[in-house]
Chain A
Amino acid sequence: MNEQYDIVIIGAGPAGMAAAKLCGSTGASTLLLDEQSGPGGQIYRGIENPAIVDPNILGSDYYKGTELAEGLRQASIDYRPGAKVWQVSSDNATDKEVSFSEGGIVHIVSAKRIIIATGAQERPFPLPGWTLSGVMNAGAAQILLKTSAIAAENAVFIGSGPLLYLIVRQYLLAGVPIKAVIDTNPLSNYLRAAPYLINGLSEYKTLVKGQRWIKEIKKSGVPFINGVKELRLSGSESVESVEYTTGGEWNKLDTDNVFLHQGVVPSVNLTMSMRCTHKWCNTQLCWCVVTDAWCETDIAGVFVAGDGATIVGAIAAEHLGTIAALGALHQLGLLDEVGRDSQAESHRKVLLKGFGFRKFLDRLFQPPRQFRIPKYGDTVVCRCEEVTAGKIREIIKLGCTNPNQMKAFSRCGMGPCQGRFCGLTVSEMISQELELPVQKVGYYRIRRPVKPVLLGELGRFKIKELEPVKIGDHCGEILK
């Protein structure tokens, strides 16, 4: 590993892998850092070594990642898996510094350009009882299927969106019995999305595929429950049952495992900590970092590609990764403007086609308000500090107007996840209570380090060129 790189890429999902492949082919000195033990990100998690032997279970979309991972392995770059990036500083206008931990050792490298491809996480689903053991994100269930070939029988899947239906289908193909699927997508979403269907037709194959999945799930005999207005998970320590209302009546399902999913949102902690400008997206209902046509943020030389900027899906992420790399390489003088633009053209065409479909999808699966903003006071909003919706509303009534005040008054967002599973809920709750746009309410002020670092790790790090400090100098400063 060097101490200096032309380009440092963070994240080895589709965007990061595509960017790395291109950067490697141009002779730019490139470092790819990723927290996981192998390439793939979450969508292609464990792609080099899937635990499942039968490729039909995960489906052909998953194995598209194989080619990307091979491209990455063949690229002449430094690829470091198991590297946890906890700080990127862009205080110096030219070179940026990336700090990361790897096996308990801290490293700091400098980079001329940074491509952030840290992807997405599942949206918080703050239901009563969502903190009980046995309740997981549906994406977590899928990760266990991909990396360990394990599954839980008779689970209840709750939520909406393509990923939920995909995982249910994978469970069915693996022969795992499912207790029920509770679809939380409201009928009104179909009406809202209908005018955008014309955009969606560009990807009619995907549309047909989605329809087929839902049909398959329904045909399999798994109860598929629609029109749910309220949901409650109960149990003493672990989850024991799911209660839901349809048509004003409460129903109950007994289960040991509940898998939740209502879409994914960009992982913004790193870009927020760097103070890149973010905007609230009223369609995707999340914070999106502002980027230009080359995925560059308002901090010069810092690019964000893929779901880490705006939710675009795996295929678009791959193309955006390439576009970000083209932008960075051009800035470094490794690619002229004509070369950059011509190489980007085919990728932009794919993106354009996909974006129309995305507009449709975003509206079709927009999670309903009652599952984003908890109704009951005893529902936990901040999982880490165990702050309830009731406490948050109480503090808003006392005059709290933004998420940072909320932190100070309640410790909400101050636990180890650093707001990743409560931030959206808190911003939206304040927005609702005070009738202010979420953009105005804002978000937590995310600070570095964005992942926990041990003091011991920092203690073992040696700064090379630390000038010896003369006490006299300090006195001089103070006397001034």
Chain B
Amino acid sequence: MFKAIDDKGIKALVSIKVDGNSYDVTGGETVASAMLQLGFNNLRNTPVKGKARSAFCMMGVCFDCLVVVDGLSDQQACMTAVQEGMDIKRQKGSAELFSLSDISREVIK
């Protein structure tokens, strides 16, 4: 498991949700880094065989750390910074499309 080395400078905390549970994490970090520190070994399950995957390249190249951020699927956890109130879900299989009602709400806006 990834843990802070002693040398770490102190930064402000933000509150996020992962799979419905609330956590305080260091602000300015990526979703992937925050989840690794919280002990989430698996960030998603693959669409083809349902296998567990986690962050692999941490630089936006491999697309293995795809999670659902605030309802939007296929977000790269290593390229997304945590933000106060962010609602993260581990992605199970393929991306979920927005439901029609979500789209019409967007249009009405």
- Chain B binds chain A: yes
Contact of B33 with A148 in the complex, beta carbons under 8 Å: yes
| Chain B contact residue count (CB 8 A cutoff) | 41
Q: What residue of chain A has the Cβ atom nearest to residue B50's Cβ?
A: A386
Contact of B59 with A53 in the complex, beta carbons under 8 Å: no
Per a CB cutoff under 8 Å, which of B4, B6, B9, B62 touches A383? B62
Total inter-chain residue pairs, C-beta < 8 Å: 127
Q: A53-B9, A150-B3 are in contact. Are A131 and B51 (CB under 8 A)?
A: yes
Residues of B within 8 A of A415 (CB): 63
Contact of A143 with B by CB under 8 A: yes
Contact of B30 with A by CB under 8 A: yes
Q: What residue of chain B has the Cβ atom nearest to residue A50's Cβ?
A: B9
Contact of A133 with B42 in the complex, beta carbons under 8 Å: yes
Contact of B68 with A by CB under 8 A: no
Per a CB cutoff under 8 Å, which of A122, A174, A386 touches B49? A386
Contact of B64 with A by CB under 8 A: yes
Contact of B7 with A57 in the complex, beta carbons under 8 Å: yes
Q: How far apart sit A148 and B34, CA to CA, in the bound complex (Å)? A: 9
Contact of A139 with B by CB under 8 A: yes
Q: What residue of chain A has the Cβ atom nearest to residue B60's Cβ?
A: A35
Task: Give the contacts of A125-169 with B (CB-CB under 8 A).
Answer: 131-137, 139-140, 143-145, 147-153
A221 to chain B, nearest CB (A): 19
- One digit per residue, 1 when the CB lies within 8 angstroms of any chain B CB and 0 when it does not, for chain A 367-385 equals 0000000000000000111
Q: How far apart sit A149 and B7, CA to CA, in the bound complex (Å)? A: 7
Contact of B88 with A by CB under 8 A: no
Contact of B26 with A148 in the complex, beta carbons under 8 Å: yes
- One digit per residue, 1 when the CB lies within 8 angstroms of any chain A CB and 0 when it does not, for chain B 5-41 equals 1111100000000000000001011100100110001
Contact of B58 with A152 in the complex, beta carbons under 8 Å: no
Contact of B41 with A420 in the complex, beta carbons under 8 Å: no
Residues of A within 8 A of B43 (CB): 133
Contact of A386 with B56 in the complex, beta carbons under 8 Å: no
Per a CB cutoff under 8 Å, which of A132, A133, A147, A452 touches B74? A452
Residues of B within 8 A of A110 (CB): none
Q: How far apart sit A205 and B48, CA to CA, in the bound complex (Å)? A: 49
Q: A139-B58, A148-B33, A153-B3 are in contact. Are A131 and B53 (CB under 8 A)?
A: yes
List the interface of chain B (C-beta within 8 A of A).
1-9, 26, 28-30, 33, 36-37, 41-43, 46, 48-49, 51-64, 66, 74, 79, 81, 106
Q: List 9 A-B contacts (CB under 8 A).
A: A45-B59, A51-B9, A57-B7, A133-B42, A140-B56, A144-B2, A238-B54, A417-B64, A420-B61
List the interface of chain A (C-beta within 8 A of B).
35, 37, 42, 45, 49, 51-54, 57, 121-122, 131-137, 139-140, 143-145, 147-153, 174-176, 237-238, 256, 267, 383-386, 415-417, 420-421, 452, 456
